[in-house]
Each structure stands twice: as C-alpha cells, then as structure tokens.
Structure 1
C-alpha cells in the first residue's frame, strides 16, 4: 500500500465514517504527510504496513525540535488514529505508536477580555465604510453567541431565526445546534444585512452566506483573524487575542454571572462537560459569593 493511497483512504474515512470537520481532517492529513515525507528520505521502502516503532520514535524526536508540545501531542494522536484505521482495514496487526506516550500537557487557561475591552474594540471599528458595519456585526456575533470562527464564516441567512430568538449553527463534525441570540446582537446583524450587504455584488454561490467580503464571496477564517488583530493593535491592547478569545469571554462572563455550566456546554456545542469546565477559572470573590448565595448552611 502506497502512502498517498493510504492517506487518501484515511481522509475519506474521517470525512464519511467519522463525520469530522474539514479543518480537523486537513490537520490529520498534514501530520501523516509529514511522516510520509520523513520516511521517503529515511527509508523509501517503508510502506504504511511496515512502519515500526523505532522509525516512528526517530520521526517524533526529529520533529519535536521544530514544534511545541501541544502540536506534538496532536501529531501523535493523529498518527495513532491513522494506524488504528490500518488495523481496522486489516493492513496491519499492531499499532507502532501503542507504547509511545504524548507529552504531558498542563491545562492552559484561555485568555479572556473584559466587557470594557470588548466595548473598546467595537468602538474602534471604522463605520465610515461598508466593511465597518460588517465587522461590528462579526465581533458582536462572536461575543454574543460564542461561535467558533469556522461556525461564523459558515453562518447562513437562512439559519437566522430572529423571531424565535435563535440561530442555527453547524459545529464540529457537521453537528447542528440552536444557539440563542439576544436582540442587541440581532440589531447589528440586521443593520449590516439590510442596509449594507444588499449593496454588494454577491456571487451566486454565496448568496445565502451572511458575512461576505467586498467581492461578494465568503470570508475566510484568516480574514476574521486579521480583523481582530487589527482592532487589538488599534486600541493598543496588551493581550494576544484571536476570534476564539470572544468565545472564551462569552463563556466566562456567563459563568461569572451565574449561568449553569450545562447550559453553557450546550450553547458552545461541547460534546463533553470536561471541555466546558476549563471556564471554571473564576476569581475567589465570585466563588465565595456563590457559596454564600446558594449553600443552605451559608
């Protein structure tokens, strides 16, 4: 079995059988390509069926010099899945990564923004051009609904159910969920959609996509990152933020104001409550007030 054939089959399996998101599938594919390229230089005769533990240890050691521990852990996880797939398809009997451990990672607390910082970022948006009202709607949607950047760029006009107070979001693994949207966020989306978006020369295949670039096409994830970075620079914000920071802030502010963790889990689209629990990094004052307000012995 050739490497290209194995990678193509595995990619198809991840998309069709496991229903993983395109970004996740692409990351898996790139990691396996790194291994295939390394083997082509190290020992071109090694096919996916013949790769052994020693070769993989050598590969991981070499790549650990150029990527961080978190990326190493993802790489090892992806390769383990790849060789498990080969076992499932009867190409191999064992997984050569079975005894190779991932780096131990501490749980990294996400960066968050205060409400004042979010207000400053929004106020820094230049509303004198068409993209300004779009960018304001984007920031308000990221923070008001806690969306992932991939969910934001895929958001459709037909997914807006403002009369019911919800939007439909396609999350990881193409899983749909309904996310509540407040009237404040609705207002900025409506202004953009009804007063500014209509003046764009919309490309036919993107007519239902909510947020468009100046050419009438779908925005990329990279463009959203650029918008956020430029706003942070404009107000001289001393934090390294990304679109995901608004999602973290959304969850943290809800929790600080007394929202139920299970409800936040549903709104974020987390499969496991453990993922949502990362937002429990609240200050001691808040924890003390929760005890005083809700414990029967308080």
Structure 2
C-alpha cells in the first residue's frame, strides 16, 4: 500500500487535485508556457492513469522513477506520418520538465509525493537550427519552382512562407475562407491557429492573394472540395527543397530547410515589429530567432573610428550611388525602396 492511504483526511488540501494543478500551471507569466505544461501533464496522466486532469485523485499522483523512464521511452517510440520520430529529444525533455515542475510544486504543498523520483538525466540535445535564407534567395526559389509539377502552387507556398512567416503546418491548413479583404485598406488578412493554439492574423498584398487564386484555376484543383489553398504533402515539400538547394547550389553546411523561409522576414523592421509579425510571447524569443547579419564591416566599433564628411555623397554619380545602395543589407534596401516609392507617389510619377 502506498503512502496516500495514510492521508485520508478531509481538508488536507484547500482545493481538488485539479484546482491545485491549475494553480501551478496558471502561475507562469507566459500563457504559452502554461498551455504547453497543461498539454504535457494531460498527456502524461492519460498514459499513466487513463484519466483527464479533472478526474485525478491524490492516489493517482503516486509515480516511481521507473514510470517516468518508461513514459520517456514511450514518447521516443511514437512515429510521425512519415515513419520518423514524432518527438525530438528536446521536445521530450520539455514534456518531462512539466512533470518535474509539477511534482516540486505538489511536494511543497504537502502532497505525499517525492519530487526526487522525477529526476532523470535529460536526453542529448538533438536540435539543429535551420540555416539562414535571404530574401533574394527565397524570391529566386519561388521563381525556379514554377517549372516543376504543381509549380504555381509550390511558388505560392514559398511566397506565403517567407512573407507571412507561418509554420508549414499552418500554411497547409489555410482555407480560402480564412483570407478576408480588409474593409478599408488595400490588402487581405490571413488568419491561422498557430503554436499554442493562438490565433494569428497577418496581412498579405493583393498581388499575393491573386497568386493564391491562380491555384484554383489549375485543372487538378477541381478534385478538391475542402476549400484548402494548398494540397502538397510533406514528402513533396521536402523533395521540392532538395531540388531547389541543388538548382541554386546551396551547400549542405548551410542547413537550409523549409522552416528557413520563416526567418526571412526577421531582417526587416524593428524588434517590436518582428515580435508582432511572429506572434511571439516575448521579445527574448524574437531576439533569439532574429536574422543575424554576419557582416561586421558596419559595426559601431568601426564606424565610430572613422570621421567621414557628410558631403562625401555629393562627389558621386547616380550610378555610383545606386551601386552603394545595392550593397547594403536587404532590410535597409527594402526601406530605401519604400521611401523612394513614397517620394515618387508624392510627385505624381507613379
């Protein structure tokens, strides 16, 4: 008989097991963390006891170190739809961390549990962050892929991927009904349910929306009745990426993946704009994944040591000025192009 049988005193805890678990979960500042922990705990107790969190009793909380090891092995064995491992080592470590955190809380609040039994050595870090992809490369990929099977659809998928920064799963679930014309401004809004079940809405241009409509005009699209924009399997997308890397001579060490499209936008705009664009819960997360420019030639330490007259540009020709502009960081070039467009519109030249 375990130690729970000895504590059958009414009122030992002020609330039910579920209420106390939720008190712990809701104590996190990040709603994203709270949602992940709740999901992780629900998964564990369904495997361990076959119960929802709302059904748990104090007796159900009894676990052994061996149980946690068995559960981790169970997670490692789960396969995805392509036969590979569904959960990475890092994901599994996060799921286990949620359990460990809960048992520390329970022990602190006089439950007859020992948090030490949840202590197991973390699995090795198997993360491999996808490599950096630049805007001009993404644009070239969208162009090259047009010559392949379902080229219009693949090109639109790439364009959507690097423009909206939606994850692959979100992109593949978009329906035409999710895309709505703004009632005032000249753009469309695309709404998806992203990571952590958070709704995320991103605007797209009328040109991109018209590109999506071209998919509907393809003969093969007539067989689909689900209103989804994209009908590309994950295998097809992987084969597309392999083809593009070969066509553009992108070396393996750059580790370019489909997810690389997601980070293209991070070189544009401010940190605040990037946080909103990616729907991140904190600036720390945005900064961690922000597109880093490895060119240090324009660093503060070098610029501050050079006193150059502001009139230096007056001695250059138009062609020389354009040459300098085109050598700048892509985010800076985009901003200058946008400023130039605004000037031409004010002059009535566009």
Corresponding residue for residue 151 of structure 1: 170
Q: 1:176 aligns with which of 177, 190, 199?
A: 199
- Residues of 2 paired with 1:71 and 1:220: CA distance? 21
1:264 to 251, 268, 274: 274
Q: Which residue, out of 253, 264, 284, partners 2:296?
A: 284
1:235 matched to which residue of 2?
248
Q: Does 1:202 align with 2:224?
A: yes
The answer for unaligned runs of 5 or more in structure 1 is 1-12, 36-46, 64-69, 213-218, 293-297
Partner of 1:244, secondary structure, is helix
SS at match of 1:241: coil
- Asked whether the equivalents of residues 111 and 248 of structure 1 are also in contact (C-alpha less than 8 Å), the reply is no
Higher RCO (CA < 8 A, seq sep 6+): 1
Out of 264, 274, 291, the residue aligned to residue 249 of structure 1 is 264
What is the alpha-carbon root mean square deviation over aligned residues?
4.6
**Residue 61 of structure 2 is aligned to residue 51 of structure 1:** no
Contact 1:56/1:96 (<8 A) preserved: no
Write the mapping of 1:30-109 to structure 2, written as runs, cut at 5 A: 49-52=62-65, 56=69, 71-82=88-99, 84=101, 93-96=113-116, 102=122
Q: Using a 3 Å threshold, how does the CA distance of structure 1 residues 109 and 288 change in structure 2: closer, same or farther? A: farther
In structure 1, distance between residues paired with 2:155 and 2:162: 11
Q: Which structure 2 residue ranges, 5 or more long, are not aligned?
A: 1-21, 26-33, 49-59, 77-86, 305-309, 311-350
Match of 1:124, SS state, is: helix
Q: TM-score, normalised by structure 2?
A: 0.53
Relative to structure 1, the CA distance from residue 54 to residue 128 in structure 2 (aligned partners, 3 Å threshold; closer, same or farther) is: closer
Q: Larger C-alpha radius of gyration, 1 or 2? A: 2
Report the Cα offset of residue 126 of structure 1. 4.0
How high is the TM-score relative to the length of structure 1? 0.61
Cα separation, 1, equivalents of 2:224 and 2:36: 30
Q: How far off is 1:229 after superposition?
A: 2.7
